[in-house]
């Protein structure tokens, strides 16, 4: 609905979706996962409009959120029953396609509607075997899995013109380390290859702890506890924007923490936009 209201897509009878945003740039702020029953259908939609947008001279960027990291790391505590059903349906549809690994692109292009039709989800859905559901989820989202490889194409942090986007936020240590390196290491982890520090697990600065790019809440709190906390956030933000050489108009956009009153840029002189609504 949001994409239609923004004039970026049209949905036709039968569910086909077309990018109509021309040369617009869309940045999705992460946490596609763990937000309802039809996650894979949404991933398929995003995959499709990314290609269409590029062909039209636009761009669709997707950020890695902490919930993408949780699923890649085997933490499924926030997955709905319907999403498990959808994952099982996705696994069955993969089995039906010969040479599914070689047909990854076409699978992701076409499975959105098929998955939505196959997965009824919810409390009244079909019987769900926990072992089968867990195995399907792991196979799809563990590093090297077909959907983890799709997530490997997402950005952990992104700069567009004078704006930096990150799900939780970018701190000076992240900027000093380098956005490109952070994105590359997250991608290698999702693909099931070793990260830059030689480790096979989640890259620490990107997704591996409370001060990582996807987990920090230094900036994203709806209200700062006191002036000292806000001053610290302001100092960190200024240092980060300076390290990124974004100039006097530089700003940061973050998600991660719901803003109950809507999009929030009331703090830090308008240099910070909190957009998880």
| Token pair 């997402």 in the structure block, residue | 154
Q: What is the dihedral of CA 44, 87, 139, 70, to 10 degrees?
A: 80
What's the longest Cα–Cα distance across the chain?
60
Please give the sequence-ordered ranges of beta strands (E in DSSP) within the chain, or none if there are none.
9-11, 17-19, 25-28, 59-62, 157-160, 163-166, 251-254, 272-274
Is residue 145 domain-resident? yes
End position of a domain, from candidates 134, 151, 168: 151
137-157 confidence digits (pLDDT tens): 999 999 999 999 999 999 999
Residue 266 token pair:
């009331």
Please give the sequence-ordered ranges of beta strands (E in DSSP) within 192-268, or none if there are none.
251-254
Q: CA–CA separation, 128 vs 121, rounded Å?
A: 10
Kindly state the DSSP code that residue 269 receives in the 8-state scheme.
Answer: G
Same domain, 32 and 131: yes
Is residue 214 domain-resident? yes
Quote the pLDDT of residue 1.
84
Is residue 1 domain-resident? no
> What is the span of the domain harbouring residue 212?
157-274
Same domain, 238 and 256: yes
237-262 confidence digits (pLDDT tens): 999 999 999 988 999 999 998 888 88
Strand order, beta sheet including 157-160: 157-160, 163-166, 251-254, 272-274
- Chain mean pLDDT for the chain: 88
Same domain, 75 and 166: no
Quote the pLDDT of residue 123.
46
Same domain, 242 and 163: yes
Same domain, 76 and 112: yes
Quote the pLDDT of residue 104.
61
Same domain, 147 and 162: no
Catalytic residues: 67
Report the domain count for the chain. Answer: 2
199-233 confidence digits (pLDDT tens): 668 999 999 989 999 999 999 988 889 999 999 99
For the ranges 112-116, 129-133, 185-189, the lowest mean pLDDT is seen at 112-116
Quote the pLDDT of residue 117.
53
End position of a domain, from candidates 151, 167, 198: 151
Same domain, 105 and 190: no
Q: Nearest Cα to 87, choosing from 31, 30, 130?
A: 130
Same domain, 36 and 124: yes
Same domain, 225 and 253: yes
162-207 confidence digits (pLDDT tens): 999 999 999 999 999 999 999 999 999 999 986 555 666 899 999 9
Is residue 141 domain-resident? yes
Q: What b-and-e string marks burial along 92-107, b requiring 16 or more CB atoms within 10 Å of the CB?
A: ebbeeeeeeeeeeeeb
Same domain, 118 and 164: no
Q: CA–CA separation, 33 vs 30, rounded Å?
A: 8
Is residue 169 domain-resident? yes
In this structure, which long-range contacts are made by residues 11-18, counting pairs with CB atoms below 8 Å and at least 24 apart in sequence? 14/113, 15/112, 15/113, 15/116, 17/45, 17/48, 17/49, 18/52
Q: Is the pLDDT of residue 98 over 80?
A: no
Is residue 9 domain-resident? no
Same domain, 92 and 184: no
Same domain, 92 and 180: no
CB 166 within 8 A of CB 254: yes
Read off the pTM: 0.88
- Which conformational region is residue 121 in: left (phi greater than 0), alpha (psi within -120 to 50 degrees), or beta? left
Residue 8 token pair:
């970026």
Is residue 16 domain-resident? no
Q: What b-and-e string marks burial along 171-180, b requiring 16 or more CB atoms within 10 Å of the CB?
A: bbebbebebe
End position of a domain, from candidates 90, 117, 151: 151
Is residue 2 domain-resident? no
């Amino acid at each position: 609905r949001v994409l239609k209201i923004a004039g970026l897509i049209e949905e036709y009878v039968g569910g086909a979706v077309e990018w109509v945003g021309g040369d617009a740039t869309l940045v999705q702020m992460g946490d596609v996962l763990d937000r309802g029953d039809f996650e894979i259908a949404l991933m398929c939609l995003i995959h499709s409009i990314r290609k269409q947008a590029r062909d039209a001279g636009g761009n669709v960027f997707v950020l890695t959120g902490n919930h993408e990291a949780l699923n890649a790391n085997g933490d499924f505590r926030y997955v709905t029953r319907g999403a498990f059903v959808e994952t099982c349906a996705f696994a069955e549809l993969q089995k039906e396609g010969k040479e599914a690994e070689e047909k990854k692109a076409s699978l992701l292009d076409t499975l959105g509607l098929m998955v939505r039709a196959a997965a009824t989800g919810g409390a009244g859905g079909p019987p769900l075997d926990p072992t089968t559901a867990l195995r399907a989820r792991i196979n799809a989202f563990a590093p090297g899995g077909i959907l983890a490889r799709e997530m490997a194409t997402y950005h952990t942090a992104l700069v567009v013109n004078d704006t930096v986007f990150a799900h939780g936020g970018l701190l000076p240590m992240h900027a000093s380390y380098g956005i490109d390196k952070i994105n590359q290491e997250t991608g290698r982890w999702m693909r099931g290859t070793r990260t830059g520090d030689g480790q096979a697990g989640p890259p620490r600065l990107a997704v591996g702890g409370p001060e990582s790019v996807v987990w920090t809440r230094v900036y994203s709190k709806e209200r700062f506890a006191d002036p000292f906390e806000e001053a610290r956030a302001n100092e960190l933000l200024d240092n980060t924007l300076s390290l990124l050489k974004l100039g006097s108009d530089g700003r940061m956009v973050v998600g991660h923490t719901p803003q109950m009153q809507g999009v929030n840029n009331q703090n830090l002189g308008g240099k910070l936009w909190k957009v998880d609504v």
